[in-house]
C-alpha cells in the first residue's frame, strides 16, 4: 500500500455513540483503538481528517419518510441531533479545525459538502472506515470510486449491521470498488 499522506483524506464514517453501542463486534474488540491510531497517524502525516456523521432532527423531517432503514431510526429514536447518542465516539473525536459533516441519508456525498471538501483539500486518495460496512462504507466507496478517487477501506476498522452483511460486503462487493487493507498497512503507509 502506497500513498501520499498530503494528498490523502482519512474519513471516519458514522462512528457515533448510538452505532458504536449497538453494533456487535465494536466495543471490546480493539476496533476503536485502531481507529484512533489511524487518525493520529494521519494527523501527524499531514493528511486531511474528515468525520462524517448521520444525525437527524428530533421530528425526523429531514430523512427519507418511507425507507426501512430510516423507519428503524425513527422507531428507536436514535441519531437525534444534540443527543449523546448522535455524538462522535470519544475515541474518534474531532480536533479543532477538522471537518465534521452531517448527513441525513446513507451516501455522504449526497447531503453534505464532502465532495467540495475533498476538492479543497486537493486529495486523490481516501482511507475510510466506520459503521456500517454494508451501508455508509459501501456507499462512500461506490461514489468516491465512480468519481475518480482511489479508495482504501480499513477492514479491521469496520463493522456491519450484522456479521454476515459485513463479511459479504468486505469479501464480495467492496473489493470490486476499492482496496481492502488493514490498520497495520495504513499506519505503515502514513509513516506511523
Q: Is the pLDDT of residue 75 over 70?
A: yes
**Are 152 and 128 contacting, i.e. CB atoms less than 8 angstroms apart?**
yes
| Cα→Cα distances 96→36, 57, 69, 92, 102, Å | 16, 24, 32, 13, 16
Q: 74 CB contacts (<8 Å, ≥6 apart)?
A: 60, 63
**Residue 64 reports pLDDT greater than 90:** no
171-182, pLDDT tens digit by residue? 999 999 999 999
pLDDT higher than threshold 70 for residue 52: yes
Domain span at residue 32 reads 5-189
Q: How many domains does the chain have?
A: 1
Q: How far apart are CA 119 and CA 115, in angstroms?
A: 6
pTM equals 0.95
Angle at 149 between CA 43 and CA 147, to 5 degrees: 140
**∠ Cα 109 53 77 (to 5°):** 120
Domain of 168: which CATH number? 3.40.50.850
Amino acid at each position: 500500500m502506497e500513498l501520499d499522506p498530503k494528498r490523502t483524506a482519512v474519513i471516519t464514517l458514522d462512528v457515533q455513540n448510538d452505532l458504536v453501542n449497538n453494533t456487535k463486534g465494536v466495543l471490546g474488540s480493539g476496533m476503536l483503538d485502531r481507529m484512533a491510531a489511524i487518525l493520529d497517524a494521519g494527523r501527524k502525516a499531514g493528511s486531511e481528517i474528515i468525520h462524517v456523521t448521520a444525525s437527524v432532527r428530533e421530528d425526523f423531517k429531514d430523512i427519507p419518510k418511507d425507507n426501512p432503514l430510516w423507519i428503524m431510526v425513527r422507531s428507536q429514536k436514535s441519531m437525534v441531533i444534540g443527543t449523546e447518542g448522535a455524538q462522535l465516539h470519544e475515541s474518534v473525536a474531532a480536533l479543532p479545525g477538522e471537518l465534521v459533516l452531517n448527513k441525513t441519508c446513507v451516501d455522504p456525498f449526497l447531503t453534505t459538502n464532502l465532495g467540495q471538501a475533498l476538492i479543497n483539500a486537493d486529495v486523490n486518495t481516501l482511507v475510510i472506515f466506520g459503521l456500517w460496512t454494508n451501508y455508509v462504507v459501501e456507499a462512500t466507496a461506490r461514489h468516491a470510486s465512480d468519481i475518480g478517487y482511489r479508495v482504501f477501506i480499513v477492514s479491521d476498522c469496520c463493522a456491519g449491521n450484522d456479521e454476515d452483511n459485513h463479511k459479504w460486503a468486505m469479501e464480495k462487493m467492496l473489493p470490486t470498488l476499492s482496496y481492502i487493507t488493514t490498520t497495520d498497512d495504513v499506519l505503515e503507509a502514513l509513516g506511523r
